[in-house]
Amino acid sequence: MRQFPNLNATLKGNEIIQFGHVNVSVAVTVPGGLMTVVVKDADIKSLRQISGEIKTMAARARDGKVKPEDVDGSTFSTSNLGMYDVEEFIAIVNPPEAAILAIGSAKETPVVANGEIKIGSRMKATISVDHRVSDGAEAAQFMQALAGFLENPVRMLV
Among the options 21, 55, 122, 131, which is catalytic?
Answer: 131
Residue 131 annotated as catalytic: yes
Of the chain, the end-to-end C-alpha distance in Å amounts to 15
Cβ(103)–Cβ(85) below 8 Å:
no
- Ramachandran region of residue 84, left (φ > 0), alpha (ψ -120 to 50) or beta? alpha
Element of type H or E holding 105: strand 99-113
Catalytic residue numbers read: 131
